[in-house]
């Protein structure tokens, strides 16, 4: 597998938390600001840490949630890197 890290900038804290949970469910990780986890900030940067195959799976899961929060923007940013 080809490793890939993707930086997402200024996503909502709620999106960052859901993104991290979805990533962990398929075996990769997302680094987010520590205060995003407890909701003490509104926006956070995030780094998706994985490989092309797993990030593609993550994208498929997120596309089902595009109408919520800022997942449309997140999906677009991920697609640019794949």
Span 26-55, average pLDDT: 94
Q: 3-class SS at 5?
A: strand
45 touches 9 (CB < 8 A):
yes
Cβ neighbours of residue 43 closer than 8 Å, sequence gap 6 or more:
10, 11, 12, 13
74 touches 64 (CB < 8 A):
no
The pLDDT of residue 38 is: 84
The pLDDT of residue 67 is: 83
| Chain segment 8-21, per-residue pLDDT in tens | 999 999 999 999 99
Span 38-44, average pLDDT: 89
The pLDDT of residue 39 is: 80
Span 15-38, average pLDDT: 94
Span 17-27, average pLDDT: 96
pTM of the predicted model, to two decimals? 0.91
47 touches 3 (CB < 8 A):
no
Got the DSSP string for 17-63? HHHHHHHHHHT-EEEE-TTTTTT--SEEEEEEEEEHHHHHHHHHHHH
């Amino acid at each position: 597998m080809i490793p890939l890290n993707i930086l997402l900038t200024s996503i909502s804290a709620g999106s960052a938390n859901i993104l991290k949970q979805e990533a962990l469910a398929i075996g990769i990780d997302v680094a987010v600001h520590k205060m995003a986890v407890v909701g003490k900030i509104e926006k956070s940067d995030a780094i998706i840490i994985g490989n092309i195959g797993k990030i593609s799976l993550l994208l498929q899961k997120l596309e089902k949630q595009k109408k919520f929060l800022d997942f449309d923007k997140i999906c677009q940013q991920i697609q640019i890197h794949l």
